[in-house]
Amino acid sequence: VAGSGHIAGVVNPPAAKKYQYWTGGKPVGDFGQWFAAAVEHPGSWWTHWQHWVETQDKARVPARKPGKHMKTLGDAPGTYVKVRV
């Protein structure tokens, strides 16, 4: 769980030293029970997540290069931004 909105929690890198995040065991019961037992960590969740990802598989692959084989979905900001619900 991150200590900011879904956008701020994603776009703020570790160097920003903003916000906090919580970690805990497998959820049992409701959110309140999990949160009461969770551990708060200062700063960005990025480094914690990167460590977790690396424990799953250390193999790295080269980034794909955009071009003629990877067509764009549309111009920015994207069609979903204009959808009214």
Domain edges within the chain: 8-82
Is 51 within 8 Å of 28 (Cβ atoms)?
Answer: no
Query: What φ, ψ does residue 36 adopt, rounded to 5°?
Result: -60, -30
Helix (H) or strand (E) holding 8: helix 8-11
pTM of the model: 0.62
Residuewise pLDDT in 10s, the chain (85 residues): 877 776 776 777 788 788 889 999 998 889 999 999 999 999 888 899 999 999 999 888 898 887 778 777 788 888 777 778 7
